[in-house]
Chain A
């Protein structure tokens, strides 16, 4: 039983990290209709930026977190402003937009490798002193709990931001119908730019929270990229609630298959489930609209 609980916590931590990525993917897809392959490497880069502030320069954790999330928000907006918008204005084919995000993803990955070299960097523990909490008979790392709590808070905050604030409503309106939204006086370009920023900030948050567990390493992005996509597809691509559920499902599936069946096959099984969903039920668990 205690193994089961610690596996459950481990799966939830992974699931929450994937969830932060899937959320960003779904937000961007909803807002602009494009896939974004940069997301996972933004997570990796965000973790590195925080590592620089917190681990190397020794700033307090909260300040490093806020700084790095703000920086990554800017990076996300910049990517939209400098690349995606230019391509959209040129009426480039969708394929080229997707390709450009892959190109950016390669650039970010290799920049990280050049700046912080190709070794795995140990991310210092966030809490000093005793590093585990007892839940029943199981001791759980404080970092894991923090990861789950912060992810849940971020998801709830995003929900309220989208549904209760004026800007969130504008974003949803722009996602629903660009022309109508701009007729209502909404600056559609700005909402899309903001969406990319928010997605990057979420990815950064996910990266920082998983970093104590996975270390800061330039290939982290490649390891988790496809799994966050799997989460988004299973939940229903473009539905933010589906993204969370799908990502948690993927995290738990991966952890339990790795523990009880074979760690060599856990990725094969995750990809297999994703492909089955794509073919049998492309709209995912939450019936997202994926066909144009």
Chain B
């Protein structure tokens, strides 16, 4: 029997989460005041990216880790969220160009994420009937279509040139412009990361979450137990798309520039790599995956040409040897140790 330690219990997990959030708040603050490390502005961008990709990966996890549906097209939702938010909040493009009125960025991000969720639900209606290999193809085609629209509909998106000077987020009179203070934007991202992760925990532990897991384990049995499989799959797609769309909005208001190149098929593969690397079907995995892969990605900037090759190799090695990701590494090691112990006892 495996004994349940303090850190496995619900109370222990809450303590860990609170400590992690506190550290995430305090450490950058200390850095900003030169208490530890040096003051390197780029570091905040990295932290923001980790936060944004954590939201993306958690959203993907709801679809892949909990419902067992694969998507190779989540960059498409990322694109819808990003472009949607820009077109709703930019004075010279989209809504601003057509009517002269624009939305404040945080509202535009929210609405763009809702649009992404609606598109996700629409995509899921046929997708919920498809077997997995058609699903992977459908999502790739979806990604390609979104990319082609962003690239070819120049009247709407300015084509491959992209849109510059995306407005900064302003909330309650506080400006979160990344040109002046990246630290403030980091706290904004952190706030949303915490909110999205709490919502995810809530979803996963609810009736809906149990339904999703039932579908992952055996759709036929789930159907037999009264789970409305099609409805839950659509829901899962929509929630997942909302997460990713929202992250897309946060991303574009941080970078301040948007072009279709960000949303190619490779981006979807990177999202999947993050999820698998961290470990799917739990809370910590997506955070770990997003953090490690983002750091690798930025750390390997000087290896620009080799980067995708390294992704490919990492992905392949994980699939072959560690399908649970690094969050499952502890289990694998303890499993191997106990196996050896047992072997020694028997032999």
A interface with B by C-beta (< 8 Å): 29, 34-35, 83, 86-87, 92, 94-96, 98-100, 102-107, 109-111, 113-114, 118, 222, 226, 229-230, 233, 237, 264-265, 267-268, 271-272, 274-275, 278-279, 282, 290-292
Contact = CB atoms under 8 A, between A and B. Distances in A.
Contacts of A106: 266, 269, 308-309, 311-312, 315
A227 B265 CA distance: 15
B320 A100 contact: yes
B126 A278 contact: yes
Q: Size class of B's contact patch?
A: 35 or more
A98 to B, nearest CB: 6
Nearest to A262: B152
Contact of A104 (B70, B265, B316): B316
B313 interface: yes
Given A103-B313, A268-B149, 5 more contacts: A103-B319, A106-B312, A226-B137, A267-B144, A275-B141
Chain A binding surface, main DSSP class: helix
25 contacts: A94-B132, A95-B68, A95-B132, A98-B70, A98-B132, A103-B312, A103-B316, A103-B319, A106-B309, A106-B311, A106-B312, A110-B306, A226-B137, A226-B140, A226-B141, A233-B137, A237-B134, A267-B144, A268-B145, A268-B149, A268-B152, A272-B145, A274-B137, A278-B138, A292-B131
B272 interface: yes
Contact of B148 (A87, A105, A267): A267
B309 A114 contact: yes
Contact of B269 (A35, A86, A102, A113): A102
A265 B145 CA distance: 10
A92 B152 contact: no
A102 B71 CA distance: 13
Nearest to B159: A264
A100 B315 CA distance: 8
Contact of A102 (B72, B132, B134, B149): B72
A33 to B, nearest CB: 9
A99 B319 contact: yes
A110 B316 contact: no
Nearest to B313: A107
The B interface is mostly helix, strand or loop, or mixed, namely helix
Nearest to A232: B137
B146 to A, nearest CB: 11
Interface in B285-324: 305-306, 308-309, 311-313, 315-316, 319-320, 323
B116 interface: no
A94 B144 contact: no
Interface of B: 64, 68, 70, 72, 126, 129-134, 136-138, 140-141, 144-145, 148-149, 152, 265-266, 269, 272, 276, 305-306, 308-309, 311-313, 315-316, 319-320, 323
Contacts of B149: 268
Contacts of B272: 99
B308 A99 contact: no
A265 B132 CA distance: 28
A110 B315 contact: no
Contacts of A104: 312, 316
A83 B320 contact: yes
A111 B265 CA distance: 18
Given A106-B315, A291-B131, A114 B306 contact: yes
B320 A34 contact: no
Given A98-B133, A222-B265, A86 B126 contact: no
A83 to B, nearest CB: 7
Contact of A83 (B133, B265, B316): B316
Nearest to B70: A95
B319 A35 contact: no
Contacts of A111: 309
A41 to B, nearest CB: 10
Contacts of A95: 64, 68, 70, 132, 136
A137 to B, nearest CB: 35
B136 A98 contact: yes
Given A100-B320, A222-B265, A274-B141, A34 B133 contact: yes
A264 B308 contact: no
A100 B316 contact: yes
A106 B148 CA distance: 21
Contacts of B276: 99
Nearest to A100: B319
B129 to A, nearest CB: 8
B305 A114 contact: yes
A94 B138 contact: no
Contacts of B133: 29, 34-35, 94, 98
A235 B329 CA distance: 44
Nearest to A33: B133
A282 B130 contact: yes
A94 B132 CA distance: 8
Contacts of B64: 95
B137 A229 contact: yes
A282 B144 CA distance: 20
